[in-house]
Amino acid sequence: MSDAAVDDPIYESAFVQEMVKQMRALDTYGVQDKLNPQDLLKPFIMTKAQRKEIPVVGDPDPITLSRVGAYYNAIAMLIEQECGLMARPVVNISHEGFGSVLIIVGALVAVDRNVRDVHRFSFESLSKMKDDADKLLNVALGRIGQFKEVAEL
């Protein structure tokens, strides 16, 4: 990793720090304990050309599915930190790589996203991943603010 990447302020953001926590939580045997955040989050970053090389035939592999779960778990944790209410991610992906993700707060569906081609789940850069997460977080917090009574059920 270059010094510029190590000093990049994006690694200090709440989202990236939560992603690192989620990825470390997936590593139950401590195999990746010595990886720095850049290397730990590297599987989430792919160019369009790299994504095209991944076939979408067959079942998505468990590692990819766990990365999808980690991404939405991180967003759910940020929702909890912001509003103080429990957020539960529900990821339902078929064996073909299509499905939906819900983040539920109380009785409110705060995030509802359809996913496809989960085999190729990635972002072009860490900043684009953070931007996507920020958009989902803003939508969720807006819905929670608008329907606070439902979110508190």
Q: Which domain holds residue 135?
A: 3-151
What's the CA angle centered on 102, arms 98 and 105, to 5 degrees?
175
Higher pLDDT residue, 28 or 82?
82
Whole-number Å distance between alpha carbons of 152 and 150: 5
DSSP output for 66-116: HHHHHHHHHHHHHHHHHHSS-EEEEEEE-TTS-EEEEEEETTEEEEEEEE-
What's the CA angle centered on 71, arms 68 and 76, to 5 degrees?
125
Per-residue DSSP letter, 43: G
Q: What is the mean pLDDT of the chain?
A: 92
Reported residue count of the chain is 153
Question: pLDDT-derived band of residue 32, with 50, 70 and 90 as boundaries?
Answer: confident
Count the Cβ atoms, other than its own, within 10 Å of residue 148. 14
CATH code for the domain of 18: 1.10.3100.20
Name residue 30's amino acid.
Answer: G
What is the Cα Rg of the chain in Å? 16
- For the chain, the domain total comes to 1
Give pLDDT tens digits for 51-92: 999 888 888 999 999 999 999 999 999 999 999 999 999 999
pTM across the whole model? 0.91
Q: In this structure, are residues 56 and 120 in contact, taking their beta carbons and an 8 Å threshold?
A: yes
The residues pairing with 102 across neighbouring beta strands, listed in sequence order, are 90, 112
Percent of the chain with pLDDT over 70: 96
